[in-house]
């Protein structure tokens, strides 16, 4: 009799609406909502923007879970991008390095390699020359990297990253912005619930986009 009762209760729980089982997420607790959305660069896709710093151990620890989420679980209507944070002058070389990697179309290889060198191999890689020396060990021409690093476009992107770090009101990294509307981080949600929160915010942002979409003149 007890076994039947337990099976019945299990079945009833399985049949409950997902909304009753899902954790209730609260604005101001698990995430922050911006009063006015910031522009995004992902067109029809909901933008998921990770703000990071190469010198941050928490950013390094987020790398594998983030890669798994974006490759296996990221909603089809979302697009992932990164932005290096710039809080201080000595963070600029890392920001320029990231955008130079992008300019050379070697982001994935060099991004992960630099994280690994700093946090696993404990190499000191902070200055332009140290980064260039490191990149050369990865099979990239040193001069080619420095040309990209010193380019006008990389300089502009790095300056913009510094401006947006302040405008987004980011106080620490890693942080995740969803569609320029919401800000969250593992320090707010806990690592276990971070991607559940991001998925929730992607859906919330998509719903808001739908409501804001102008009606067709034929309607």
pLDDT digits (tens, 9 = 90+) for 42-72: 999 999 999 999 999 999 999 999 999 999 9
Q: How far apart are CA 84 and CA 204, in angstroms?
A: 25
Mean of the per-residue pLDDT values of the chain = 90
pLDDT at 193 over 60: yes
pLDDT digits (tens, 9 = 90+) for 80-127: 999 999 999 999 999 999 999 999 999 999 999 999 999 999 999 999
pLDDT at 17 over 80: no
Please list the residue range(s) of the chain that carry CATH number 3.40.30.10: 28-85+170-211, 87-169
Q: How would residue 24 be classed by pLDDT, with cut points 50, 70 and 90?
A: confident
pLDDT at 157 over 50: yes
Q: Which CATH class, in words, describes the domain spanning 87-169?
A: alpha beta
Q: How would residue 218 be classed by pLDDT, with cut points 50, 70 and 90?
A: low
Q: Tell me phi and psi for residue 33, to 5 degrees.
A: -105, 130
Percent of the chain beyond pLDDT 70?
Answer: 87
Judge contact between 183 and 58, C-beta under 8 A: no
Q: How far apart are CA 3 and CA 26, in angstroms?
A: 38
Q: Tell me the pairing of strands 46-52 and 32-33.
A: unpaired
Q: Which CATH class, in words, describes the domain spanning 28-85+170-211?
A: alpha beta
The pLDDT value recorded for residue 215 is 67
């Amino acid at each position: 009799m007890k076994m039947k009762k337990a099976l019945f209760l299990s079945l009833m729980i399985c049949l409950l609406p997902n909304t009753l089982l899902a954790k209730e997420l609260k604005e101001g607790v698990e995430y922050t909502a911006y009063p006015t959305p910031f522009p995004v660069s992902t067109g029809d896709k909901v933008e998921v923007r990770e703000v990071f710093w190469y010198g941050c151990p928490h950013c390094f620890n987020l790398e594998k879970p983030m890669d798994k989420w974006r490759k296996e679980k990221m909603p089809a209507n979302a697009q992932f991008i990164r932005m290096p944070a710039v809080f201080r002058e000595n963070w600029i070389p890392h920001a320029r390095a990231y955008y130079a990697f992008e300019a050379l179309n070697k982001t994935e290889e060099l991004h992960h390699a630099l994280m690994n060198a700093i946090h696993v191999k404990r190499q000191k890689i902070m200055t332009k020359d140290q980064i260039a020396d490191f990149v050369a060990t990865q099979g990239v021409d040193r001069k080619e990297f420095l040309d990209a690093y010193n380019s006008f476009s990389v300089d502009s992107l790095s300056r913009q990253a510094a401006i947006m770090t302040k405008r987004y009101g980011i106080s620490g990294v890693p942080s995740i912005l969803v569609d320029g509307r919401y800000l969250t981080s593992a320090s707010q949600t806990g690592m276990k619930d971070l991607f559940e929160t991001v998925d929730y915010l992607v859906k919330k942002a998509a719903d808001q986009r739908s409501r804001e979409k102008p009606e067709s003149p034929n309607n």
